[in-house]
Amino acid sequence: MFKFKEFLKYLKRFKRTISFIGILNAFKHFKSIKKIKPVDVLYLCHDNSRPILLNGIYYSPLIDSINNKLKDYSNITLALPFSKYSGNRTYGNTINLNFYIIVSLLRRIIINGSLSLKNTENDPLIKFYSYLFEKLKLKIIFGIQPSIEMCIAAKINKINIIDIQHGIIDVNQTNSYYSLEKRFHFNDMGWPNYIFCRNRQSLSEVLKLNNYTKPILIGNLNKYFYENVYCNIEEIKLFKTKRKTILFTFQPFYESESFSSKNLHHKIIFPTVLLKLILSSNYNFILKLHPSQIQNKNLFKLHITALNNLFSEYSNVDFIINNNKPLEYSLVNSDLHITYNSASFFDAFDYGLKTILLDDNLLRLNRYFGELMNSSYVIVDPSLEFDFSMYFNQKKEKDYKESSIDFNFKSFISENIIQC
């Protein structure tokens, strides 16, 4: 029998991807699979990974960079459950088939009495994806953390499915997409065939996954997007003065409850030590929200209101202009980066900025960032007590060359995927 508490627990796992509008649009933008023509490439993307609004269209730097590189191949993008945007609001021929997802989940409840995946051989959602992939006659699938059901369906249809790294890869964290425990109950099925890694640290993490999936180093697609797709956009000066500029990047959550409770200001989490630094120093500061905080209207309003209350009288603090632009815009306008333990550290590294981490859990930091923790690129300073003057020197290009790897996607498809 279906249990309501289990239903709520299941939905809580998707609290960052479910919205009323997203579910409503599953019905409003319903499209029959029978009307979709076969394509070579299927992309998978949710609104959370489509944060760039350019000329009225939402872009995903990760997905649309690959789409741009492979534009000679026919393709569509599937708006993952439960995206709000599709069609003309998005780049990449994005369609919304989430009505089918809702029907499949309801069938799962009837069959198993649960929303969770229980039986891979007779699961309605796996059957739907398998039917979809077969109808589209796909050659390859690229997605941001494709679900277990998608990966199983792709393998049923002998289609390679690739995960594109988004955030930190941590194989030891139980709730991580990359956890070995996540697919243990399904005989370790449901892994993507490949994981596209942005740097060597991430590649080394994937190598711990017992050959269930293969890592491939491709460099920083966000940087490619900013330099090749978002380019030639008129820029606005952030500050009147030419002081050194410090960038702080927010996170959607913090592993430490102590950090969260001690750094609550106007209903948002903002480091008290950073607040004191801003109020007492002569630096310029860029405060960059996380994409999930920018895209959620309520969260965005909450954060902007709080930052207005804190810094509206300070001309050396920007939290308006930069939050209308990609993270890379903030990076190229900064001299130093501060965050708790966000994957934005990798982005700062790729742009030659040193990062100060406010997390004091060295075990966790070493899991996230590996050998980079022993380098001069990162400083662990939860109290912001060190002399900042020694951190403003940027690294040399050769130190972060891996961010600009010119990976040949066409060759990857023709040599490793498409079987003629």
**Exposure of 290 in the CB half-sphere (CA atoms within 13 A):** 23
What does the pLDDT look like over 211-245, one tens digit per residue? 899 999 999 999 999 999 898 776 778 888 889 99
Cβ neighbours, 10 Å, residue 10: 14
* Dist. CA 353–CA 378, nearest whole Å: 9
**Cis link prior to 82 (omega < 30° from 0)?**
yes
Contact 197, 217 (CB under 8 A): yes
Q: Which residue's entry shows tokens 């780049």?
A: 91
Given a cut of 80, whether residue 129 has pLDDT beyond it is yes
DSSP run (H or E) holding 161:
strand 160-164
Given a cut of 90, whether residue 14 has pLDDT beyond it is no
CATH 3.40.50 at 245-404, yes or no = yes
Torsion of CA 275, 278, 281, 287, to 10 degrees: 140
Contact 283, 323 (CB under 8 A): no
Q: Please report the pLDDT score of residue 17 as a whole number.
A: 54
* CATH class as words, domain 4-219+408-416: alpha beta
DSSP 234: P
Contacts 24+ apart (CB under 8 A), 379-388: 379/354, 379/355, 380/356, 381/356, 381/357, 382/273, 382/357, 382/358, 383/273, 384/273, 384/274, 384/276, 384/277, 384/338, 384/356, 384/358, 386/356, 388/244, 388/246, 388/283, 388/336
In the chain, ranges of CATH 3.40.50.11930 domains: 4-219+408-416
Confidence of residue 317 (pLDDT cuts 50, 70, 90): very high
What does the pLDDT look like over 263-297, one tens digit per residue? 999 999 999 999 999 999 999 999 999 998 998 88
Contact 45, 144 (CB under 8 A): yes
The residue length of the chain stands at 420
Q: Which residue's entry shows tokens 């606005």?
A: 236
Confidence of residue 390 (pLDDT cuts 50, 70, 90): confident
What does the pLDDT look like over 82-96, one tens digit per residue? 999 999 999 989 999
Q: Tell me the three state secondary structure of residue 397.
A: helix
Side chain identity, residue 324? N
Backbone φ/ψ region at 375: left (φ over 0), alpha (ψ -120 to 50), beta: beta
Given a cut of 60, whether residue 411 has pLDDT beyond it is yes
Q: In sequence order, what DSSP letters do the residues of 72-130 get, joined into one string?
A: TS-EEEEE-TT-S--GGGBSS-EE--HHHHHHHHHHHHHHHSSSS---TTS-HHHHHHH
DSSP 175: T
